[in-house]
Structure 1
Amino acid sequence: MFEILVNMEEMRDDNPVMQAGLALAGHLDAYATGLHIVEVFPSTMAMPEVMTVLETEEHEARQYDAWWMNRCREHGVQGNWEVIRGVYVPVLARRSCMADITVSRLPNREAGYPTGMDYVTRVLLTAASPMLLVPPKWDGTFRQARILVAWNSTQESMRALRAALPLLRKAEMVCLVDGASDVLPGITPPPLPVRDWLTRQGVILHEMRQFPATTSAGEALLDQAHAMHADLLVMGAWGHSRVSELMLGGTTRHVLQHAPLPVLTAH
């Protein structure tokens, strides 16, 4: 059975992560696990008052089990509610290994972490599972009619494409922007035959075009998503070295900072 893990930082009915995650589970007839992490900071664990606070927070979080199950029933999906106490990044990374897709929020620019160092992106870097990242101000609906695929013939983009297949097959319009290039013929691997592969997978490709030559690839990609009124952007993450992406920016970094639509991505 297809498994969706929904990372629930806030237990409220208008949480766009919850709404998108359960809508995705409904589209895919998937099992939806809601996960709340009670965050632990190891340096404070010796303080008795901290342990009391953590125990209280964990007890209160477990009381949302019935609330989550009601939300699942409203969306016509099976699911369960989990609460795990621990260090945030390794807990989410390890638990997401059991999911086909993990739904979480896009990095919060207002939290003070540079993109790449925030919790969610650090989990993405572990390659635990593909992630559907939802903007914090998203309206909560999850549509799949118009999908833009950013392709560069890397393993990361292939993993994201595989994760998106069930959605791509049902989409009304799929456009692919190809940024792959055969830089050193005979030395570097040639671009993957993605058009033929998509056809075999039952995906109707409406348009495939080359990525425009620009120094602002991330901005250009979001412009194309806006122009086609895309409901979803599919892309591989961190296609260059992690250090260069974290320190120097790049397409992934710009998209994670500025995307106004959900992004399905994988490392």
Structure 2
Amino acid sequence: MSYREILVYTGTGELAPRMCDYAANLASSLKARLVGLVVEADVIDFTEFDNALLDAERKRAFELLTKKRGELHEATLRTGSIFQEAAERHGVPHDTLFKTGVHAEIPGTVTDLARLYDCSILPSVERFGGFQVPIVEEVLFGSGRPLIVLPLDRPLSKSPDIVFVAWDGSRPATRAVHDAIPILRQATIVEVVSVTEEKPLERLSSGHDLVRHLKAHDVRARYGEVRFDGTPIGEQIMKAALRLDADLLVMGGYGHSRVRQIVFGGATRSVLAAPILPVFLSH
């Protein structure tokens, strides 16, 4: 199993350089082709729906709209250049996809594309014009593919070298570990950790068996346990990963999708609320 194609959603503004550099470095280490998705947020022309506007007001609104769209287009072209420079700097085969849509359409656009790649890389939060766009949620539950969520303001390592695997024996955790194997093979240390007394013991006892299985896939893994201390499980996982000085957390994406509403499990919600290191998720 290997990754042949990785999709990175470049983000906008200050997000773009860190998103592109991290993705290009990861693609280089995995010898994968990298595709940069650059989204240009469109601005709705509300003057079409307001018949009360005078001609002069309508003309002024149209001028402002045209100016704003021009600025957004220029920003999109700059982001595309940032992606291309990062890919070339790391010697990665690459392509750029340009898409346009209003903010409400963007999560669906990213999700549809993510289904066609081995893994996607996304920012933990994305905003357009003051709106927070739920891209991570949509891709996690809608694409059927794994993703890596990057923190907005934390230093990023060159590539995952110390990986913390949150293991509870569940289906989502199993799926995440299996999907992450190409990355785990590249790591120097893979620490499989269970939080005891938080799940039935018979499920947690499989941690040693998981390490055996990972070693069969040439993953340098070891097993450890953290005693449940009563704090939210997501917080405890993050603290344990920090103690290890991990640069990637692998965990199952818990939760489910309802009609137009996505509900996270407690651990997933806690980790994604303010991630302090890249998080690999699969559902």
Relative to the length of structure 1, the TM-score reads: 0.80
Is 2:270 the partner of 1:254? yes
For residue 29 of structure 1, what is the aligned residue in structure 2? 31
Deviates more, 1:163-172 or 1:92-101: 163-172
- Match runs of 1:178-217 below 5 Å: 178-179=194-195, 181-182=199-200, 193-209=209-225, 212=228, 214-217=230-233
Residues 166 and 251 of structure 2 are in contact (CA less than 8 Å); yes or no, is this contact kept in structure 1? yes
CA distance in 2 between partners of 1:118 and 1:235 (Å): 19
1:79 is matched by which residue type in structure 2? Answer: H
CA distance in 1 between partners of 2:13 and 2:96 (Å): 11
Tell me how far 1:10 sits from its aligned partner: 2.0
CA distance in 1 between partners of 2:274 and 2:80 (Å): 33
Matched residues, percent identical? 22
Larger Rg belongs to? 2
CA distance in 1 between partners of 2:237 and 2:256 (Å): 20
CA distance in 1 between partners of 2:250 and 2:47 (Å): 40
Residues 122 and 149 of structure 2 are in contact (CA less than 8 Å); yes or no, is this contact kept in structure 1? yes
The root-mean-square deviation of aligned C-alpha atoms, in Å, is 3.6
Deviates more, 1:165-174 or 1:204-213: 204-213
For residue 5 of structure 1, what is the aligned residue in structure 2? 7
Equivalent pairs counted in the alignment come to 257
- Match runs of 1:144-155 below 5 Å: 144-155=160-171
Tell me how far 1:130 sits from its aligned partner: 1.1
With over 3 angstroms needed to count, the CA separation of the structure-2 counterparts of 1:69 and 1:246, relative to structure 1, is: closer
CA distance in 2 between partners of 1:146 and 1:24 (Å): 14
1:68 is matched by which residue type in structure 2? Answer: F
For residue 70 of structure 1, what is the aligned residue in structure 2? 85
CA distance in 2 between partners of 1:211 and 1:168 (Å): 25
For residue 101 of structure 1, what is the aligned residue in structure 2? 119
Tell me how far 1:156 sits from its aligned partner: 2.1
By percentage of residues, which structure has more strand? 2
1:100 is matched by which residue type in structure 2? Answer: D
User: Which of 100, 123, 126 is the matching residue for 1:85?
Assistant: 100
CA distance in 1 between partners of 2:93 and 2:74 (Å): 23
Relative to the length of structure 2, the TM-score reads: 0.76
Could you give the per-residue CA deviations for residues 60-97 of structure 1, whole angstroms, max 9, x where no partner exists? 62465454323211011010111112310110000111
CA distance in 1 between partners of 2:47 and 2:28 (Å): 40
Tell me how far 1:255 sits from its aligned partner: 0.5
2:237 is matched by which residue type in structure 1? Answer: L
Give 3-state SS (helix, strand or coil) of 2:121's partner: strand
With over 3 angstroms needed to count, the CA separation of the structure-2 counterparts of 1:210 and 1:260, relative to structure 1, is: closer
Is 2:176 the partner of 1:160? yes
CA distance in 1 between partners of 2:35 and 2:168 (Å): 32
1:98 is matched by which residue type in structure 2? Answer: L
